[in-house]
């Protein structure tokens, strides 16, 4: 694996996985999927300040550079790109808007977050020029906005969605999980319990009630939202909605956790 600090060292046509570091096995699954798409796999590590409304959260974002390098190498990355702020955001760069979808759910609680996401992804795509880019389904609203971005850019980059990788107890893998103490780590299982309660329901109304009631039942979990939406536009799902997805987010000890699950009602997970 080659470590590069400038995009000028990269060639067109890679399979690309953008990250903010603090890598874990969820990221490893993205790298391995990228390797299935191409022998030329670029991963980037850039903690994007535009995604953080709260500068304290930016400061607390975990950094594990030695582990990141080792995991990337073991998982099939051929080029690990560590861009500078100046390369990503040169003087006079234009910030993008995520539009109306960027103001819903995660966007409603994290002002400007998705504007920062689409801005940095557009810049990364411009600099890396990938053929394929891999994103995890755990950040489903982000994934949806990136697909929308590709349309806006009139780009032919293939966006590949990778399934959420979970711990043995169902908790979605996340870089933020390292900030949970033992008690909070156990309490965090409520997200997966709530999603499964919804999925086991036989109709939409029961599913929505189950999702929300389980979510608020956990002491210490401060629920932000729990809803079943139409994957297409994040409107509230109705019975006729073809592709339903449950989304949930909240805080434990000041750590924000999010998760989601496709809803095929009555299915066992």
The catalytic residue positions are 27
Report the distance separating Cα 137 and Cα 63, nearest Å.
22
> For the purposes of burial, counting CB atoms within 10 Å of the CB of 54, is it exposed (0-12), middle (13-18) or buried (19 or more)?
exposed
Find how far residue 188's CA is from the centre of its chain.
17
Length of the chain: 269
Q: Which of 259, 205, 214 is closest to 236 using CA atoms? A: 205
**Radius of gyration, CA atoms only, the chain:** 19
> According to DSSP H, which parts of the chain are helical?
25-37, 55-60, 65-74, 85-88, 106-109, 113-128, 140-153, 182-187, 190-199, 204-217
Torsion of the alpha carbons at 226, 228, 234 and 237, rounded to the nearest 10: -150
CB-based contacts of 144, cutoff 8 Å, min separation 6: 101, 231, 234
CA atoms lying within 13 Å on the CB side of residue 224: 19
């Amino acid at each position: 694996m080659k470590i590069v600090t400038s995009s000028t060292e990269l060639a067109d046509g890679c399979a690309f996985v953008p990250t903010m570091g603090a890598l874990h096995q969820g990221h490893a699954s993205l790298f391995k999927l990228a390797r299935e798409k191409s022998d030329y796999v670029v991963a980037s590590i850039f903690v994007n300040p535009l995604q953080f409304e709260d500068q304290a959260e930016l400061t607390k974002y975990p950094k594990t550079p030695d582990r990141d390098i080792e995991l990337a190498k073991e998982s099939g990355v051929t080029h690990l790109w560590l861009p500078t702020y100046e390369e990503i955001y040169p003087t006079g760069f234009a910030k993008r808007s995520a539009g109306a979808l960027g103001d819903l759910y995660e966007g409603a609680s994290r002002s400007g977050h998705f504007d920062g996401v689409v801005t940095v992804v557009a810049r990364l795509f411009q600099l890396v020029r990938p053929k394929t880019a891999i994103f995890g389904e755990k950040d489903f609203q982000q994934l949806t906005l990136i697909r929308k971005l590709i349309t806006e850019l009139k780009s032919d980059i293939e966006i590949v969605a990778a399934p959420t990788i979970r711990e043995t107890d169902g908790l979605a893998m996340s870089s933020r999980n390292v900030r949970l103490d033992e008690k909070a780590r156990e309490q965090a299982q409520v997200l997966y319990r709530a999603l499964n309660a919804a999925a086991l329901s036989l109709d939409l109304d029961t599913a929505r009630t189950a999702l929300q009631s389980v979510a608020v039942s956990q002491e210490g979990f401060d629920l932000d939202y729990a809803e079943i939406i139409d994957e297409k536009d994040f409107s509230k799902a109705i019975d006729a909605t073809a592709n339903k997805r449950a989304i949930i987010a909240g805080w434990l000890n000041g750590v924000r956790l999010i998760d989601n699950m496709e809803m095929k009602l009555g299915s066992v997970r």
